[in-house]
Structure 1
């Protein structure tokens, strides 16, 4: 409303890219809806906070990290003291920026932020990106009615499924319109199937080995490969003949919308952000859950797999033989790829950032109304 002060929002979603990225995507959407919004991010010196958050243009306030161990250990026994100190620092930040709402995405900074907000009677908004919620968001979901999740199957008290906030360059991607330019960008041919291979920002040795080992079979099937190896990895791909389809290996890609536009299919891990992005752009995939957290990553992929938009393969089963016998028949079947793409799109949620931002603005307005009635 005219004359209203700008909303003052604190975002708590630090440590890992899986927490920071949706938090910043939400903040960007909030800034688009309400350009005057005052947004402050909470973070810690552990993890990627000091790198990723300032790069997105938001002020960062650091608080002591409080990892919540799930096992009995000396660290767990020290948690109450650490949590008390972190809540105190987080509360000082909330007071200094005159926060009106705390929006949490889990991670090390979320629990102190939630507790500090509760003590001050501030609205709390929770978003859970993973299929298996973390400790902080499970606790916070019992403190507030503003709870949102990536998918309907997430076990979180009274959560509303909205998807995961994504960058507009991904959520609004027109793959068909960008396809030719994207393929030219990577040195791929305009025609013929392209499989994108990625193990996440750091790469994945098992995926790299399996796909590079199947290079000859992929070439023989006229399948092009765009392989993002990870900055610390390389792949040994035998040189092909000039007439062979390209096998392009790069360590990293900054603007993933071009990689997605160039591709017809993806082989990748099944982190929450990856699953959300591929569904939003309608890319079918073969998901390979990370073995150490395979149960969690498997859950992230299951909805789109059940919808017919993806395959699921265990890390131990991914090898050149699986690619030759199971995947290549899919990659060379345009009709099946088209159907899987449609099913993947149906499972996507490209507008989660705006939905969440609008809800937060509503929560601020409701709290202001309650506060104004209390002053009458």
Structure 2
């Protein structure tokens, strides 16, 4: 799934860069592409929630089979590309193998945080970092390196990469844990849990359209700063929220999250392609996506550790009244009704502690992104 998603999420943007040399036109097209994603993101949670409530979670995966087949046929029939003769004399197989091993090792280490011993997790992460250093040395000598080292000597491009990583590390917390908040703390169904993502999907489109129009007057860093502020408002609302926060406030937080995402993504995507050398546009686009995925994966594991620590601590302090199994049922509308009503307030308080801490950590990431952004603006202004 990762191999397929990696291609589908990067190749279209590489194609846009080749088709539209005019940046404003390209930004508009990327906005349309984002709108199509937003439309699917609106329909998906509704259908997904209904499927989970009505059938079982397995059907969330089954429904994608006919959609995938239609997509494959559409590309085969409608997408025509002229054949290009490769000028690459030697493919960088060694670099590709080292990169795959290092990243897989890193991701395994991250995923095993709190489920394996500290020594094993540390060893895997250290091995992955050593392999990344080896990769850096190998790429210096490669005829056509898979990740050219010159990318990291390009200051503006590195800034784009850092902002992408920070913003997406925070963003994933809303997608994963706000539906859990709605189901576990407010007692809503999986369908309504999915609804919490709809305002963000709708306003995401607005941000995608408004961002490119604002950039010429404000500049890219100020525009991204506005997107970051929208993120901060969203997570600030959730960090200040109590257990019984009304659903409409969550929806407002989702709208700010969507606006921040739409504003930041398009501008950063165009910025990566603009800051990269022409020959590096495809690899820079792909590498930016890789960084987003790594950031999301790493922070998802950190958020998971934060939640698990809060749940385990709450279970220990309850002296056997509450179990992890019961807390797992709390976030499932189909099984939550079987839980003892007298323990529900305590269980919700335990889960709230974990979710609240996750919102705070995401908020810190966004604050770092904003400070970093402002620092870059001041540096550019001095020059």
Same-fold call, TM cutoff 0.5: no
Richer in helix (by share)? 2
Greater strand share, structure number: 1
TM-score computed with the length of structure 1 as normaliser: 0.30
- TM-score (ref. length: structure 2): 0.30
